[in-house]
Amino acid sequence: MNPFTLHTGPMLLSKGFIAESIEILQEYWPMFLNGAKDTIVIALIGTIFGVLIGLLVGVIRTIPVPEYSSKVRKIGMKIVNTLLSVYVEVFRGTPMIVQAMVIFYGAAFAGWYMDKFYAALFVVSLNTGAYMAEIVRGGILSVDQGQFEAAHSIGMTHPKTMLYIIMPQVLRNILPSIGNEFVINIKDTSVLNVISVTELYYQSKSIATQNFMYFQVFLITCVIYFIMTFTVTRLLLLLERWMEGSKTYTIVGSFSDPKSVFKVNEK
């Protein structure tokens, strides 16, 4: 039999297909809903912790070590930076599906039986943290060096400079990347089914094995993923616009008047 023979059958959007899809939704909507809920929760919490890890790692990797620093500090920072570099490279250079299996089953092999849900959060957080660390490091390095020098010239320490001068700019600049990581995590949670995490893909696979309507089930799953990612993307765009503020200003008074101010035009 020719494997490329075209088999005719009911049209994709026939009444039977639509009716079957509606029946699947009516019967299994709690499973779809629970899967979508776990997917969003894992992606959201994993992204938040991943950003915090990325901020910490990114800041540590950009701490300057002056030439006049003691040998102990130089060696200590070298060791820390090496360990952090290994972490970043390992988690950026291996698939999340492999990381999940190594961490979950590795912990079990060592006698530590992790809860599957918390294992999923741990994996997503570490994976996101590795990517965010490089994003944060790049954001810090992109800030003009003169701002560091100006802050130090008025007596600000490096931690204060980072906290009050640099990081507010970095966070604003990397917000699109954070949103992108969140969207990616919503989709990448599907690989966590290998450790039996009951996210959306796992639930969809369970439904399909019960009714054998794989196409209908996973088409519904595809639509649910799209709705989640589309909604999150639009919300993040609104957040970005809100943080940018208005770009038009109206001068109130004159430049010669010391009390003159710039008023934001809300139009």
> Which stretch of DSSP H or E encloses residue 262?
strand 261-264
Using an 8 Å Cβ cutoff, are 220 and 24 in contact? yes
pLDDT band for 49, please (50, 70, 90 cuts).
Answer: very high
- Inform me whether the pLDDT recorded for 75 exceeds 70: yes
For the stretch 204-233, pLDDT in tens is 999 999 888 889 999 999 999 999 999 999
Compare 180 and 142 and report the one with higher pLDDT.
Answer: 180
- Cβ(232)–Cβ(179) below 8 Å: yes
| Residues 238, 246 contacting (CB under 8 angstroms) | no
Q: What is the pLDDT of residues 1-40, one digit of tens each?
A: 444 444 444 444 555 778 888 888 888 899 999 999 999 9
Q: What is the pLDDT of residue 4?
A: 42
pTM: 0.81
Q: Is the pLDDT of residue 115 over 70?
A: yes
Given a cut of 80, whether residue 137 has pLDDT beyond it is yes
Strands 261-264 and 249-252: antiparallel
pLDDT reported for residue 246: 66
Query: How much of the chain is helix, strand and coil, in % rounded to 5?
Result: 75, 5, 20
pLDDT for 239: 83
Share above pLDDT 70 across residues of the chain, in percent, rounded to a whole number = 86
CA separation, residue 191 to residues 17, 67, 97, 184, 216 (Å): 28, 46, 5, 12, 21
Instruction: Report the amino acid identity of residue 179.
Output: G
Could you give the CA distance from residue 246 to residue 169 in angstroms, rounded to a whole number?
17
The tokens describing 109, both together, are 């092999």
Grouping H, G, I as helix, E, B as strand and the rest as coil, residue 250 is strand
Provide mean pLDDT across the span 152-166.
83
